[in-house]
Amino acid sequence: MKPTIALVGRPNVGKSTLFNRLTRSRDALVADQPGLTRDRHYGHGRVGSKPYLVVDTGGFEPVVDEGILFEMAKQTLQAVDEADAIVFLVDGRTGITPQDKIIANRLRQAKQPVFLAVNKAEGVSHAMATAEFHELALGEPYAISASHGDGVREMVEMVLEFFPDAEEEDKTHHPKFAIIGRPNVGKSTLVNAILGEERVIAFDQAGTTRDSIYIDFEREGRKYTIIDTAGVRRRGKVNETIEKFSVIKTMKAIEDANVAVLVLDAQLDISEQDATIAGFALEAGRALVVAVNKWEDLELQQKDTIKRDILRKLGFLDFAKFHYISALEGRGVGDLFKSIDAAYKAAMSKLPTPKLTRILQVATERQQPPRAGTVRPKLRYAHQGGMNPPIIVIHGNALDRVPESYTRYLEGMFRKAFHLQGTPLRVQYKSSD
């Protein structure tokens, strides 16, 4: 599993600068999709072959308590609890502040490894930059410059040393799907509708509040694993506690699944949080099925309006199949499985080089890539560069000049030829000049 690193520190120490540096290269892979609101506090990073998730807690407003104490915002504390490692940033130019000390006190109790990063240390010797910060008693400080990049890679490598290599290849040979969505959309109800009574046994056995619950089951002779992000609630008790929503848990579940089932509430407007969660699934490249829940008891006209609104706001999920279901009444659940199966199959497709290249030829014959100045990109052949999501690598010349719109056109051609419904598809270019 990819480790999650939380960036913590008082305002202005450079968290968002560091966050941008850590996530930038990866972001370039996901083209800006219209309508895709991206929460710029959660992202993917990679050092060498090691991927990780990173959270910038800076966006979580600090709560000022009685005007005296700076308190870490609740969401920051939650991120600190849920992350696998913490990078605590301080400002090497300003020196230690009282806020730094408060945060340090809190972090010394953290169960996870904490790394103290002295930022804005460009042009200063490591010893000079870090000297006074030993006082925070969080181990040897790292001198970095988030804006210039000095020391950042080394620090992240050090953080990742603590974690075994994330296994990129999924060893599961059946659909492993995560039920994701914001609170109250009906995730638990859907999990119950899928599993029936079996679930009761499962949730008594495993899981802490930090983790999603994994349940293996069979349906019509096929194996599945469901990842229940809403699990671990005290059921049967009078005051059933509402689980607090955890973005990190959701991200981890998406990463670990091969199919994500995004649950939406038809009776409420699509919110920013819905779009953000959808964005995580897209960024992770996961196959996706959308379940618009609470679909019973709606007037025909309402249904039309809701459908249109959802498709407009979540237009970037056009590769996914949308289902309109009622988890409460168990309606539409069977069809959901057809799409889960199809999306899984599409995500795991093997795309042979000859067929890929043939489709590429047909596509370029039908419509050539546009000339860019005096050069015209030359697309020669294609091979598969990965699965889940399928990655198609195109070889040729001057490929950095292929416009986004043409890439979309090619994607459409490949998607159709290989029946890739329900999975994102990535087209990458390898130019020989």
Binding residues for GTP: 9-16, 56-60, 119-122, 181-188, 228-232
Give the shortest CB-325-to-ligand GDP separation in angstroms. 7
DSSP 326: B
212 is a contact residue toward ligand GDP (CB under 6 A): no
181 is a contact residue toward ligand GDP (CB under 6 A): yes
CB 422 within 8 A of CB 320: yes
123 is a contact residue toward ligand GDP (CB under 6 A): no
37 is a contact residue toward ligand GDP (CB under 6 A): no
**Binding site: which residues?**
9-16, 56-60, 119-122, 181-188, 228-232
Binding to ligand GDP (CB under 6 A) within 294-313 occurs at 294, 296
Q: Which is nearer to ligand GDP, 76 or 364 (CB)?
A: 76
Q: Which is nearer to ligand GDP, 328 or 348 (CB)?
A: 328
Beta carbons within 8 Å of 407's beta carbon, 6+ residues apart: 31, 427
Q: Which is nearer to ligand GDP, 328 or 417 (CB)?
A: 328
Candidate ranges 67-75, 144-152, 214-222, 372-380; the one touching ligand GDP (CB under 6 A): 144-152
Angstrom distance (rounded) from CA 341 to CA 376: 40
> Tokens 């100045």 belong to which residue?
373
Candidate ranges 66-74, 99-107, 197-205, 324-332; the one touching ligand GDP (CB under 6 A): 324-332
122 is a contact residue toward ligand GDP (CB under 6 A): yes
Beta bridge partners of 65: 69
Angstrom distance (rounded) from CA 114 to CA 174: 37
**Helices and strands in the chain: count of H runs, count of E runs:** 13, 17
130 is a contact residue toward ligand GDP (CB under 6 A): no
230 is a contact residue toward ligand GDP (CB under 6 A): yes
Angstrom distance (rounded) from CA 89 to CA 18: 9
Taking alpha carbons only, the member of 413, 429, 285 closest to residue 351 is 413
In the list 6, 8, 13, 398, the residue contacting ligand GDP (rule: CB under 6 A) is 13
207 is a contact residue toward ligand GDP (CB under 6 A): no
17 is a contact residue toward ligand GDP (CB under 6 A): yes
Angstrom distance (rounded) from CA 133 to CA 360: 57
In the list 37, 172, 184, 225, the residue contacting ligand GDP (rule: CB under 6 A) is 184
43 is a contact residue toward ligand GDP (CB under 6 A): no
Give the shortest CB-12-to-ligand GDP separation in angstroms. 4
> Tokens 């040393």 belong to which residue?
161
273 is a contact residue toward ligand GDP (CB under 6 A): no
Q: Which two tokens stand for residue 309?
A: 């609104």
Give the shortest CB-372-to-ligand GDP separation in angstroms. 34
Q: Which is nearer to ligand GDP, 132 or 170 (CB)?
A: 132
Angstrom distance (rounded) from CA 396 to CA 379: 5
Give the shortest CB-147-to-ligand GDP separation in angstroms. 4
Q: What is the dihedral of CA 201, 203, 208, 210, to 10 degrees?
A: 160
Angstrom distance (rounded) from CA 48 to CA 153: 10
**What would the DSSP string read from start to end of 42-66?**
EEEEEETTEEEEEEEGGGSPPEEET
332 is a contact residue toward ligand GDP (CB under 6 A): no
b/e per residue 401-417 (b: at least 16 CB within 10 A)? bbeeebbebbbebbbeb
Taking CB atoms within 8 Å and a gap of at least 24, the contacts of 98-103 are 98/70, 99/10, 99/70, 100/9, 100/10, 100/136, 101/136, 102/69, 102/70, 102/71, 103/8, 103/9, 103/10, 103/72
Phi, psi of 19 (to 5 degrees): -55, -45
Q: Which is nearer to ligand GDP, 136 or 399 (CB)?
A: 136
124 is a contact residue toward ligand GDP (CB under 6 A): no
Q: Which is nearer to ligand GDP, 186 or 377 (CB)?
A: 186
120 is a contact residue toward ligand GDP (CB under 6 A): yes
Candidate ranges 157-165, 180-188, 310-318, 407-415; the one touching ligand GDP (CB under 6 A): 180-188
328 is a contact residue toward ligand GDP (CB under 6 A): yes
147 is a contact residue toward ligand GDP (CB under 6 A): yes
Q: Which is nearer to ligand GDP, 185 or 343 (CB)?
A: 185
First to last CA, the chain: 37
Q: Which is nearer to ligand GDP, 170 or 329 (CB)?
A: 329
Candidate ranges 118-126, 284-292, 304-312, 372-380; the one touching ligand GDP (CB under 6 A): 118-126
Sites of contact with ligand GDP (CB under 6 A):
9, 11-17, 58, 119-120, 122, 145-148, 181, 183-189, 230, 293-294, 296, 326-328
